[in-house]
Amino acid sequence: MTIQAAIIDKLTKALNPTHLDVANESHMHNVPPGSESHFRVVIVSESFDGAPLVKRHRSVNTVLADDLKTNIHALALHTYTPAEFKERQTKAPASPDCHG
């Protein structure tokens, strides 16, 4: 199983998202071709209702704790409630260009 697939599996099981997009952005960084080390996660879950941003990020980081210790170098998180995501017209900010 790829790291990307493992992230999707773990987040789906733990947070029951209504929307989940996990993008491997490693190619945008100075890493060997085929690397899986930099990811962008857009996750929408009812479990985020009433939770501040830091608590949402902590919940994702807890689910991915082992991967963050071993496989994931960078993780860009965009965490929304269903209402927030609908208000954003189902768009999350793009990741910035890497300068290193």
Q: Is the dihedral of CA 3, 5, 8, 14 positive or negative?
A: negative
The tokens of 66 are what? 């082992």
pLDDT at residue 76 greater than cutoff 60: yes
Residue 5: the pLDDT is 96
How much is the pTM? 0.85
Give the chain's length.
Answer: 100
Mean pLDDT of 49-70: 97
Decide if pLDDT at 34 tops 90. no
Residue 31, both tokens: 């890493």
Could you tell me which residues come within 8 angstroms of residue 72 by beta carbon, excluding any fewer than 6 positions away? 3, 7, 37, 38, 39, 64
